[in-house]
Amino acid sequence: MSPSGKVAVLIDDERQLRSLLKIVLESENYRVYEAADGKLGLQEIIARKPDVIILDLGLPDMNGLDVLRRLREWCSAPVLILSVRDSKEEKVNALDLGADDYVTKPFGSEELLARLRAIQRRNPDRQDNPIFECGKLQIDFSKHEVCINGIIVKLTSTEFSLLRLLSQHAGKVMTQRQLLREIWGPQAEHQGQYLRLYITYLRRKLFFAQDSIPRIQTEPRIGYRLVID
């Protein structure tokens, strides 16, 4: 196996299936790392920075869709769902949450490899980093953890989502409509009061009386920017 082979992370609780997939993938020069549950899978993704992820939905510790939702907060690696669930609703949910393709079990190895090649062609130059750092502020997207000067700051899930979006676009203006759509959904695009309220909460928790902390700057009638200089 060439050391230049692409990296695949395989998240599935069936040991026999993982063994079979490892053989198939290694025959195509992949370096394969396995995880039997969602938590270990997320850890492997952070450690290995894979070129592709194969994810089962029926995991013992968490729903595969929750794994997908978590990793898509900071990771853009192509994800292929491999599952016995074949309902239209399951497929639509997975694709809406950021999966690149969906294959039902049982599957043919040639089709699987072809689909892996296809989804990797779509995003060849991605860069992933689960940690954002600026001054005394550190955000760990994979753990949903925010620290200031090493001290954990407790945020609600909505507050964290808002801070995550601003930090991932740090220095750039995000419009009110973009933020509302991403956090509350398309139906909330004109509900600016939600956004103003949570911006206030974030400022109170993170940014007052703190040196070397990015600030949230209001762009009147447009949106908000996380200022990092």
Give the C-alpha separation, 31 to 9, whole Å. Answer: 9
Give the C-alpha separation, 45 to 53, whole Å. Answer: 8
Domain ranges (residues) in the chain: 7-121, 131-227
CATH class name, domain 131-227: mainly alpha
Residue 220 CA, distance from chain mean position: 30
Task: Give the per-residue pLDDT at 2.
Answer: 41
The long-range contacts involving 206-209, CB below 8 angstroms and separated by at least 24 positions, are 206/137, 206/146, 206/148, 206/153, 206/163
pLDDT in tens, 69-96: 999 888 989 999 999 988 888 888 898 8
Give the C-alpha separation, 116 to 169, whole Å. Answer: 29
Range 7-121: architecture per CATH: 3-Layer(aba) Sandwich (3.40)
pLDDT in tens, 157-191: 999 999 998 988 888 888 888 898 888 887 877 88
pLDDT in tens, 18-68: 999 999 999 999 999 999 999 999 999 999 999 999 999 999 999 999 999
Give the C-alpha separation, 86 to 106, whole Å. Answer: 11
Confidence of residue 109 (pLDDT cuts 50, 70, 90): very high
> Is the pTM value of this prediction over 0.85?
no
